[in-house]
Structure 1
């Protein structure tokens, strides 16, 4: 019995020695705080920031619990917000996401089925969209790309000046995965996060281990990456 225990201990010790690797020296980066904000411009506080975006020296912070996007301009050391709760044309009823394009912030409003656009001076316009949910979307020039729910497509394209009456202007694109036998559940789980690339988009399905790459303009599937392993 003692011999068996001794053999086991010896094996564990050898395995431990073999599995240990030499530690690498990590580069240390010294940082110092040069600016901070604890409250919003109206003296209220942060609540539930769900998404951040950084571009051209500006940090954008989306807070659906406040229905606004807070913008921190690092170069000018200024801090302001766009959007607020309300049922007016310039306000947001039920925010689900946001996107930044050349200093223009679009807040997706499921309550009014619209995309509300703002800049540093305030409200710009409201445009109708065919779908609103919490999945990531983006805008390329004047075309809106958003995730959708159908049995044959995973994302939808509409022009920024799309009119809800002209449903023929909607382009349903992308392929779907057979995740479950239940049709409604399969449609629901096929929703995608859409990320813009160079002349392409990446469709990421949280319920399926595959990332797809589509041609941005021709909607063709260019490649797919299976992450099952």
Structure 2
């Protein structure tokens, strides 16, 4: 049973600086703007890594592309539309041994594919009724996700079998942040929820819904420098500064892999230019979370989606140039 009471057992602050020698470069080894002359991707809204390769969710075309770990095209699946086994505007995904789950924001549902079955195998349309969710986790017939609209109980556990939200918990969104949580990860037996904009905070909940740790890394130099600039940017209107959303520092996506939490950080100058685009790496071993290092992404456009591969590489989608870029992590 999920408790609604919140117990704060401790608050852990990150180190207040990130020296330049903590920054590591990524070496670009491959960049593509399509898989072949007949197969083009449009807007990649999520990238997932499975046993047999990579899966790219194309939001605009409402299809999923499958490649190997070197971005060599294998196949595509998914049918655009409004029908029971069709998808419209897919945003996020989750993959495990049982299949590939896609959150279809256009139809407010989750649909399950089995990539190991023949291409003509229809997907399973799972019951769902929520719009505007963040990242999600599928576990034991349930989907666990952050609701960006419900700030009183931001974590919702939805049971597919009975078609209703059976549990809701989590502390209300911090009003000083003025934004609810967006990302969610499973760390051992606990859940991590991550605020998205301007003041990155991670909260850790146990299975009973109790808040057991809160990690505030806003004092990390990589963020404090960006926020100092953000606070000065905006439009001057009759003595009041109106902030511009394009200047916000945003945690765009998170990935928890092998006890390392990767956070894609983005701060934009305009719709096509960035001030900073990097991946902050946090160490989640030893039952705590600590800053490790930062991976610097090229600033030729801006990267909105990424995945860490088992081959010590990272693939990321450049939203401006419309390319999938494959990087090698260097020491």
TM-score by length of 2: 0.50
Tell me, yes or no, if the aligned pair for 2:45 and 2:91 is still in contact at 8 Å: no
Deviation of 1:179 after TM superposition, in Å, equals 2.0
Report the aligned-residue RMSD.
Answer: 3.2
Structure number with higher relative contact order (C-alpha < 8 Å, ≥ 6 residues apart): 2
**Any idea what the Cα deviations from partners look like across 1:69-99, whole Å, max 9, x if unmatched?**
2122459x77122223111111112322111
Say whether the 8 Å CA contact 2:154–2:173 is kept in structure 1: no
Task: Please report how far the alpha carbon of residue 55 of structure 1 lies from its aligned counterpart in structure 2 after TM superposition.
Answer: 2.8
Flag structure 2 segments of 5+ consecutive residues without an equivalent: 1-20, 220-331
Structure 2 residue 162 is matched with structure 1 residue 162:
yes
Distance 2:203 2:123 in 1: 34
How far apart, in 1, do the equivalents of 2:173 and 2:109 lie?
Answer: 28
How many residues in Structure 1 have an aligned counterpart in Structure 2?
189
Secondary structure, in 3 states, of the residue corresponding to 1:111? coil
Q: Which has the higher strand share?
A: 2
Q: Which of 193, 196, 200 is the equivalent residue of 1:209?
A: 200
Q: Secondary structure at the match of 1:170?
A: strand
CA distance in 1, matches of 2:171, 2:77: 36
Gaps of 5+ in 1: 1-22
Counterparts in 2 of 1:221 and 1:130: CA distance versus 1, 3 Å: farther
1:152 has 2:181 as partner: no
CA separation of 1:49 and 1:151: change in aligned 2, threshold 3 A = closer
Which of 67, 70, 74 does residue 72 from structure 1 map onto? Answer: 67
Contact 1:155 1:192 in 2 (8 A): no
What does residue 89 of structure 1 align with? 84
Counterpart for residue 184 of structure 2: 194
**Which structure dedicates a bigger proportion of its chain to helix?**
1
**Cα distance between partner residues in 2 of 1:112 and 1:160:** 16
Residue 169 of structure 2 corresponds to residue 173 of structure 1:
yes
Which has the larger Rg? 1
